[in-house]
Structure 1
């Protein structure tokens, strides 16, 4: 199979990077991207500024490739997603040329002539990657190895607190958004709710708080499952990612000014139509509303359906690659305390198949670009037979000073002490408590 390419699924940061590493090792890559351009998912949140600086957002082999074609990537500052695409991902895809194929959606990965049940001769057969192009034509490609870097962006979590859509959530879909808002001006004078405690939720709360400051009558309610907003607001001076620390600080000030109302311990059980808006009902009977718009920002989860005919080991709690789950568990780790993971931890029961990037972390929110680039370096070294390089740890992460979310949500163990429930901001009137 040495004459066959390595197929990488997804042309995001962790999809383009392996192509650059593979070329340095004289292995031909093909990158398949279902969007219309490389970095399509990043472009959808292009208005959001990253917490990581430029020097933490560029893969080493990718930088070398870009330098060879005369493109210089910025070396300082904190770009927005659109700048990351414009100044790095798009030029990198251009440098890779026709090895990057856009408008191609992968539908399945399997072994040639073997379904998942068959043992005999399995590892000796090439992978078969089936896809559909933008014209609806079915494609069938053979590969020596497959790297799944499709991320988690396509599957946001629901507003419902038990991991499934709340009662009425699907029926109220026209009032619910699952992405950080781009243009909030249309919500001026309205009551808006944000559900979630991660960085996306904090970013949305701040964006809406800024609208409330300039548009009197706008109300912003932040619904948290945990007992306090403290963990969601970041590590302050202990956070080595200054942009994230600044985001938390600005949001804290908005809460203290009364611009944002915080409701803690609220686990959404039902979303009811209420006039021109919706009312959110908690599992304890409390309700908040009516609100004109709900931003449900409760995290993302991987789509594993394309891997249904290959053998994969997935952690039952995180939907992460089983071999690294203990190292990234958000009940224990922040993104600054996760250990380096490479080919050894990412290896699957299906030889030659690797899930990399954010998708390898499943539902864990502790992923950083640097983490993914180290995975890529190690996995490509393993594919090239350089086992010493594959086993080597070259990752250095900034200490975040921020706990993961899962433990604090339910009072369980975490990398930091679980904060005591406190009232932050003005009390919220609760109807029918």
Structure 2
């Protein structure tokens, strides 16, 4: 099957890094991107500034490829916006790889094994994978692939507002008043729609903290703007954001704490939404213990994302039942135990499945865990591509140094004090012995 391409799903930072690594090794590659441009998902949050520096957002192999085109590398110590990342790095990288490698406007609808459903054992390890895709013009095709690297991410599947993992009662009916993305206050229309209104923000992660900072400025500008911050946890603790080795990420928590102290943000800890009721022009949020938050004009449900595995229903996957991440990776990224700075270095072994040749990389590999960094994904695909090429020595040499974070789940603002006081959140794990026994993919002939 060596003449077949390795198919990469998603032309985001991790998918393009995978394609670059494949090109580096002379392995035919094809990247399928659902959006109209490379970095389409990143472009949907153009206005958001990353808390990672440029130096932590550029894959080493991609840097080398781009340098050969005369590309000017951004200041490694500067912090880009989503728009910067897309236009100054992702789109030039896609152009350097070429249109024959990166195909946009193409949606993967299924991945199967040629002439076999999930039940059939015979010949499964030698038959190619089949990627079923639909183009924006409506045409469909079957693409045979030597291997598939799924770097499609989780952006298209935000978590619901409901506290039990499913939409709250009335959430779907109230969808016009609920938004699952950080608002763009540079957009006059979005700004006008929020100014002077009652806005409820749900979530305690970095997206929620980013929105808190933005909307605090709005409340300072117009005192008629009311910002209520609803959090599922009932207790609070001193700010742990200063422990963060990514200063801009830590600054999110500090800024949120200052906004609360200034009275610009009104926290409601211990509010677990189970029902949403439309009350005339506004919404009422009802918690599981009967608390109410009335007169809400807009809800920002910034409660994270989850993976979509429906395209692989005919493949044999081994997913953790809690995180929906590869089973071998899940113990290393469980947000109840780890921050993104305490994740054990991992590569092809932890990301492989019983289905030969299929790998999940990037944010999707973390399932429901929220602590993913681009640096992690770049090392993931470096190891995966080496394994596909049969270079097991390189595939096994996984090295990853990540910045330490403060307390998990929102940089320590209104977080769980028990996790922080015990140190359990941020203690680096030992390498599990069972990782050494996992199967490899391929082998250099």
Post-superposition offset of 1:289: 1.5
CA distance in 2, matches of 1:416, 1:369: 29
- Residue aligning to 1:161: 163
Q: Aligned to 2:152, what secondary structure does the other structure show?
A: coil
Q: Aligned to 1:87, what secondary structure does the other structure show?
A: helix
CA distance in 1, matches of 2:365, 2:338: 16
- Residue aligning to 1:123: 125
- Residue aligning to 1:337: 342
Q: CA contact under 8 A between 1:5 and 1:144: conserved in structure 2?
A: yes
- Residue aligning to 1:93: 94
Q: How does 1:341-420 map to 2 (within 5 A)?
A: 341-404=346-409, 414=419, 417=422
- Residue aligning to 2:134: 132
Q: 1:214 aligns with which of 213, 218, 221?
A: 221
Q: How does 1:223-262 map to 2 (within 5 A)?
A: 223-230=230-237, 235-262=240-267
- Residue aligning to 2:430: none
Post-superposition offset of 1:409: 9.5
- Residue aligning to 1:42: 42
CA distance in 2, matches of 1:223, 1:409: 10
Post-superposition offset of 1:186: 2.1
Q: CA distance change for structure 1 residues 76 and 294 in 2, over 3 Å: closer, same or farther? A: same
Q: CA contact under 8 A between 1:7 and 1:145: conserved in structure 2?
A: yes
1:3 aligns with 2:3: yes
Bigger Cα displacement from structure 2, 249-258 vs 181-190: 181-190
Q: CA contact under 8 A between 2:269 and 2:414: conserved in structure 1?
A: no
- Residue aligning to 1:32: 32
Post-superposition offset of 1:248: 1.4
- Residue aligning to 2:206: 199
CA distance in 2, matches of 1:319, 1:414: 23
Bigger Cα displacement from structure 2, 363-372 vs 67-76: 67-76
Per-residue CA shift, 1:309-356, capped at 9, x if unaligned? 111111100111111000000000011111111001111101111000
Post-superposition offset of 1:22: 0.6
CA distance in 2, matches of 1:415, 1:257: 25
- Residue aligning to 1:323: 328
Post-superposition offset of 1:236: 2.5
Post-superposition offset of 1:118: 0.2
Q: CA contact under 8 A between 1:333 and 1:414: conserved in structure 2?
A: no
- Residue aligning to 1:306: 311
Bigger Cα displacement from structure 2, 286-295 vs 246-255: 246-255
- Residue aligning to 2:13: 13
Q: CA distance change for structure 1 residues 95 and 58 in 2, over 3 Å: closer, same or farther? A: same
Post-superposition offset of 1:412: 9.6
Q: 2:180 aligns with which of 178, 194, 206?
A: 178
1:78 aligns with 2:79: yes
Q: CA contact under 8 A between 1:331 and 1:415: conserved in structure 2?
A: no
Post-superposition offset of 1:139: 1.3
Per-residue CA shift, 1:224-268, capped at 9, x if unaligned? 00123548x6x3321111111112111111100111100001100
Stretches of structure 1 lacking an aligned partner (at least 5 in a row): 420-433
Q: CA contact under 8 A between 2:237 and 2:416: conserved in structure 1?
A: no
Q: CA distance change for structure 1 residues 214 and 418 in 2, over 3 Å: closer, same or farther? A: farther
Per-residue CA shift, 1:286-305, capped at 9, x if unaligned? 00121100000111000100
**TM-score normalised over the length of structure 2:** 0.91
Q: Aligned to 1:30, what secondary structure does the other structure show?
A: strand
Q: 2:108 aligns with which of 86, 106, 109?
A: 106
Q: Aligned to 2:266, what secondary structure does the other structure show?
A: strand
CA distance in 2, matches of 1:320, 1:208: 33
Q: CA distance change for structure 1 residues 415 and 355 in 2, over 3 Å: closer, same or farther? A: farther
**TM-score normalised over the length of structure 1:** 0.93
Q: CA distance change for structure 1 residues 67 and 377 in 2, over 3 Å: closer, same or farther? A: same
Post-superposition offset of 1:185: 3.3
The CA RMSD measured in Å over matched residues stands at 1.9
Q: CA contact under 8 A between 2:107 and 2:134: conserved in structure 1?
A: yes
Q: CA contact under 8 A between 2:232 and 2:271: conserved in structure 1?
A: yes
Post-superposition offset of 1:414: 3.6
CA distance in 1, matches of 2:283, 2:242: 38
Q: Aligned to 1:193, what secondary structure does the other structure show?
A: strand
Q: CA distance change for structure 1 residues 217 and 323 in 2, over 3 Å: closer, same or farther? A: same
CA distance in 1, matches of 2:395, 2:122: 28
Post-superposition offset of 1:93: 0.3
Q: CA distance change for structure 1 residues 331 and 69 in 2, over 3 Å: closer, same or farther? A: same
Q: CA contact under 8 A between 2:117 and 2:314: conserved in structure 1?
A: yes
CA distance in 2, matches of 1:356, 1:409: 31
Per-residue CA shift, 1:195-221, capped at 9, x if unaligned? 111111111122111101001211000
CA distance in 2, matches of 1:191, 1:359: 34
Post-superposition offset of 1:76: 2.3
Q: Aligned to 2:31, what secondary structure does the other structure show?
A: strand
